[in-house]
């Protein structure tokens, strides 16, 4: 069901005014130079402080690759480097099947958790809250909370293939927070276009402040059961600049229930 996104192109114009849109490299290209000149404010333990309210501003939630518009969904340039997703042959066919069935097959239509990194580029803000041992990412969408442990603890032990949002452990490489996430189930998609993964998914995100109001966000996807090689997405994340910016709530399933009430 796409009804939740009708009107988004109109909302986007208003929301764009709330973002800081200084020119930075476009997604999919060489988005992060190796040594950024920017020196960010730091937390008490000397790390760049990613805290604040952030939001992606692109159309990756519809389709992470280049796409033209359709009713209710804007056109967009993709966020995938090289615009190619290296599916194994069986998986390329599966993606096409997902695409054909997306109005019912997309787990997002049931208001299920969107997985990683789709939650990052859903068109809703999120708040990063950083302390020395935790970088917590709190999402307005579905009240998803991602707890990134930066306390040196390892991933949960054992063969776990059941988390919708995975198990995230983070470490710092210079000014970049590198978040390593595994233990996914196979039920989430990367977008509404049917791009998918297996429970072997391994996501590596890199968050780098490149200015006071911009994070360069790069994601490496590895899944040897579905793809022939790792591949990458990248995009800017924009700080929400309203003086009293807040994340609110989007309790998706509750709205589905309300719609059912009259039955």
β-strands 214-222, 231-239 pairing = antiparallel
Least separation in angstroms between residue 104's CB and other proteins is 16
Q: List Cβ neighbours of 252 (8 Å cut-off, separation of 6 or more).
A: 4, 111, 141, 142
Nearer to other proteins, 168 or 216 (CB): 168
Nearer to other proteins, 153 or 159 (CB): 153
Least separation in angstroms between residue 230's CB and other proteins is 25
Nearer to other proteins, 83 or 257 (CB): 257
Q: Are 212 and 239 in contact (CB under 8 A)?
A: yes
Least separation in angstroms between residue 145's CB and other proteins is 5
Nearer to other proteins, 73 or 137 (CB): 137
Q: Are 54 and 132 in contact (CB under 8 A)?
A: no
Least separation in angstroms between residue 34's CB and other proteins is 30
Residues of this chain that interact with other proteins (CB under 8 A) are 44, 51, 110-113, 127, 129, 131, 134, 136, 138, 143-145, 147, 149, 152-154, 156-157, 163-165, 187, 244, 246-249, 251, 253-254, 257-258, 260-261, 263
| Eight-class DSSP state of 98 | H
Nearer to other proteins, 29 or 162 (CB): 162
Nearest C-alpha neighbor of 55 from the set 112, 139, 116, 115: 139
Q: 198 to each of 30, 32, 94, 186, 227, how far by Cα in Å?
A: 28, 28, 12, 4, 10
């Amino acid at each position: 069901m796409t009804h939740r996104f009708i009107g988004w192109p109109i909302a986007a114009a208003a929301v764009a005014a709330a973002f800081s849109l200084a020119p930075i490299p476009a997604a999919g290209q060489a988005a992060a130079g190796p040594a950024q000149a920017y020196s960010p404010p730091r937390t008490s333990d000397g790390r760049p402080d990613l805290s604040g309210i952030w939001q992606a501003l692109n159309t990756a939630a519809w389709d992470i690759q280049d796409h033209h518009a359709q009713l209710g969904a804007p056109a967009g340039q993709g966020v995938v480097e090289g615009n190619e997703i290296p599916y194994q042959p069986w998986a390329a066919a599966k993606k096409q099947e997902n695409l054909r069935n997306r109005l019912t097959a997309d787990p997002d239509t049931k208001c299920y958790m969107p997985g990683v990194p789709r939650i990052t580029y859903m068109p809703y803000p999120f708040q990063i809250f950083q302390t020395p041992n935790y970088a917590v990412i709190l999402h307005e969408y579905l009240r998803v909370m991602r707890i990134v442990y930066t306390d040196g603890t390892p991933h949960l032990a054992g063969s776990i293939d059941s988390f919708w949002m995975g198990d995230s452990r983070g470490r710092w490489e210079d000014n970049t927070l590198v978040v390593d996430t595994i233990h996914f189930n196979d039920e989430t998609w990367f977008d509404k276009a049917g791009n998918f993964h297996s429970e072997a998914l391994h996501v590596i995100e890199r968050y780098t402040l490149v200015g006071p109001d911009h994070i360069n966000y790069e994601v490496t996807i590895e899944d040897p059961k579905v793809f022939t090689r790792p591949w990458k997405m990248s995009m800017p994340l924009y700080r929400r600049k309203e003086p009293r910016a807040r994340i609110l709530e989007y309790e998706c399933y509750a709205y589905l229930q309300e719609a059912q009430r009259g039955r």
